[in-house]
Structure 1
Amino acid sequence: MTRDKRLTAARPDLAAESLRGIIEAPRYALGERRVVREPVAPVRRAPSPGASLDTEALLGETVTVYDEDMEGWAWGQLDTDGYVGYLPVNALALPDAAPTHRVSVPRTFLFPQLDIKLPPLATLSFGARVAVRSERDGFAITAGGAIFARHVVPLEMKEPDFVTVAAQFLGTPYLWGGRSAFGFDCSGLVQTALAACGIAAPRDSDMQEAALGAPLDPSGPFRRGDLLFWPGHVAIVEAPDLLLHANAFHMMVAREPLEPALARIAATSPLRAAKRL
């Protein structure tokens, strides 16, 4: 059986202990749990700052680390969606208090104290997970600082409409491998919007095409929430005549009339599939 390398914690010299007897490797590792401590941590294809950005992990997400090298890179697997890659060791920490809340606005500041006039310690993205210890004077207080309380919601709270969530990010720059409000790629936007509604989705567009929804006639008609797939691209139908997607034509999350968008994209790549959740 051919295994997807993106989701398989195995390389020529090492594999996850869970793959023993399935994949042959010189050695196996149980892995150790780590938590992302930076607002956004890159997950790269190779242990180098110049390597391709495959995806990102957000503050509070957990990673199973199988190996660390002397150059400051950890090789592991994201618990959120199973993606495997290399992360900077200094972006990770040992688990502490379990997250209780997530950031529910596109971006928000983490302040050192309960005072918005102070320089922020960091800027957090939508979906970042934090452990709120208490609330006071309109702030949610964490071990790392204070966040405007109305910018976070309990982890169990789900958004009602993933299209509305995705539309919050109109104008956000396009970033290959991006999965945060600082930069999205097409499938990162879809995955993030669905996650806010409690719907788990794979990371990449081909995975999403295979796993999500029921097939539709690619010729339409379409309705709000339908997903359209091309080779290497996914877009959201915002309304029967509107398309919403992170794309490299606009280099940002953009809204555009459906028919002209379909015609433009078809000039280089035919619409391959349509799915309804």
Structure 2
Amino acid sequence: MEQKYAICRVAVAPLRAAASDKAEITTQLLFGDHVEVLERAEPWYRIRTGFDDYEGWMDFKQLAVLTEQQYHHYDTCDELVPLGVDNTAIASDGSKYYLAPSSSLPEYANGYCTIGEEKFKLSFEPHLASAASPTDDVVTFALFFLNAPYLWGGRTLFGIDCSGFSQAVLKLAGIVIKRDAAQQAEQGTLVNFLQQVQPGDLAFFDNAEGRIIHVGIMLNAHEIIHASGRVRIDRIDDQGIYNAELGRYSHRLRIIKRFI
């Protein structure tokens, strides 16, 4: 029977804009991300992610088969890889996978998770995502990524983009948002004034054409943490983000949204 559902079986895998190793990486799949297979052109599958409905092409060898029942069951996976750089999953052959924080841990029970038909022993206690996370926790999640290098399409400590950063932090808080900044800007509740922000609010920034091109996480009414060159903390005011290293405003503020 043709494979219709699958799950990422490696720690991190590129999702590309076209069926080629030379194609742009638009995002990454993390360990435990479940997907629907839309098209096959081996060795490439065009897939749609179950978490945020993002589409792209990836090598089918980085996926394990899921049943339809498993696919829908994984929509409610609350056990995640916690903050840390040495969280490992040990496969049945004894080999190790070093997992990125916010990765999903399907069918977690008694120290094990399951990817397809294979069980993995975990070296850590999972983080339980909760939509009731206090704003202090959201700030802690965000600060973990401080100084992570910017990488277009990235979702890990070793390379992350602005919307991948906001998505990972809110996922740890139990909040599901879309992948790209422009998509995220359409979600949440409007915050009318900068002085009304709470830690964890998302600020969005546009270009000269009015298109949303950047997002960051508010730490308070005067500071923002965002991925720009690296994950960094900068000043923000009604005009936008002021980069002290450049001596100028780097991003123009468009809108602020609340998700917590």
Is residue 149 of structure 1 aligned with residue 124 of structure 2?
yes
* Alignment match, 1:80: 51
What SS does the corresponding residue of 1:216 show, helix, strand or coil? coil
Q: Residues 269, 170 of structure 1: CA spacing in aligned structure 2 closer, same or farther, 3 A cutoff? A: closer
Out of 220, 224, 231, the residue aligned to residue 253 of structure 1 is 231
After TM superposition, give the deviation of residue 62 of structure 1 in Å. Answer: 0.9
After TM superposition, give the deviation of residue 269 of structure 1 in Å. Answer: 4.4
> How many residues get paired?
233
Q: Is 1:83–1:203's contact at 8 Å kept on the other side of the alignment? A: yes
Letter paired with 1:84: E
* Alignment match, 1:23: none
Q: Residues 262, 154 of structure 1: CA spacing in aligned structure 2 closer, same or farther, 3 A cutoff? A: closer
1:95-174 to 2 correspondence within 5 Å?
A: 95=66, 101-107=79-85, 108-111=87-90, 121-130=96-105, 131-135=107-111, 140=112, 143-150=118-125, 152-154=126-128, 159-161=133-135, 162-174=138-150
Q: Residues 90, 239 of structure 1: CA spacing in aligned structure 2 closer, same or farther, 3 A cutoff? A: same
CA-to-aligned-CA distance 1:38-86 (integer Å, 9 cap, x gap): 111211111112211111121111111021113x110011111011110
| Separation in 1, partners of 2:140, 2:130 | 18
CA-to-aligned-CA distance 1:226-263 (integer Å, 9 cap, x gap): 32111210111112332111112xxx211233359723
Q: Is 2:44–2:58's contact at 8 Å kept on the other side of the alignment? A: yes
Letter paired with 2:241: L
Letter paired with 2:204: F
Q: Is 2:16–2:24's contact at 8 Å kept on the other side of the alignment? A: yes
Q: Residues 76, 257 of structure 1: CA spacing in aligned structure 2 closer, same or farther, 3 A cutoff? A: same
| Separation in 2, partners of 1:223, 1:129 | 27
Letter paired with 2:166: V
Letter paired with 1:94: V
Q: Is 2:16–2:57's contact at 8 Å kept on the other side of the alignment? A: yes
| Separation in 2, partners of 1:158, 1:215 | 19
| Separation in 1, partners of 2:130, 2:227 | 27
Structure 2 gap ranges (5+):
207-212
What SS does the corresponding residue of 2:171 show, helix, strand or coil? helix
- The structure that has the greater radius of gyration is 1
| Separation in 1, partners of 2:56, 2:104 | 21
CA-to-aligned-CA distance 1:179-206 (integer Å, 9 cap, x gap): 2333211111111111222211111111
Larger relative contact order (Cα-Cα within 8 Å, sequence gap ≥ 6): 2
CA-to-aligned-CA distance 1:191-223 (integer Å, 9 cap, x gap): 1111222211111111111112214236x4644
Is residue 92 of structure 1 aligned with residue 63 of structure 2?
yes
- Which moves more between the two structures, 124-133 or 54-63? 124-133
| Separation in 2, partners of 1:223, 1:215 | 9
Letter paired with 2:150: Y
Counting aligned pairs with the same residue, the percent is: 27
* Alignment match, 1:276: 258
> Normalising by the residue count of structure 1, what TM-score does the alignment of the two structures yield?
0.73
Is residue 184 of structure 1 aligned with residue 163 of structure 2?
no
Out of 57, 60, 66, the residue aligned to residue 38 of structure 2 is 66
> Normalising by the residue count of structure 2, what TM-score does the alignment of the two structures yield?
0.77
Letter paired with 1:197: A
After TM superposition, give the deviation of residue 134 of structure 1 in Å. Answer: 2.7
| Separation in 2, partners of 1:215, 1:52 | 34
Is residue 263 of structure 1 aligned with residue 242 of structure 2?
yes
Structure 1 gap ranges (5+):
1-29
Q: Residues 269, 253 of structure 1: CA spacing in aligned structure 2 closer, same or farther, 3 A cutoff? A: closer
| Separation in 1, partners of 2:108, 2:65 | 18
What SS does the corresponding residue of 2:182 show, helix, strand or coil? helix
Q: Is 1:55–1:179's contact at 8 Å kept on the other side of the alignment? A: yes
What SS does the corresponding residue of 2:134 show, helix, strand or coil? coil
CA-to-aligned-CA distance 1:150-179 (integer Å, 9 cap, x gap): 3x1356786433232122111222111112
| Separation in 2, partners of 1:244, 1:84 | 28
Is residue 34 of structure 1 aligned with residue 13 of structure 2?
no
CA-atom RMSD in angstroms: 3.0
- Which moves more between the two structures, 77-86 or 225-234? 225-234
* Alignment match, 2:202: 227
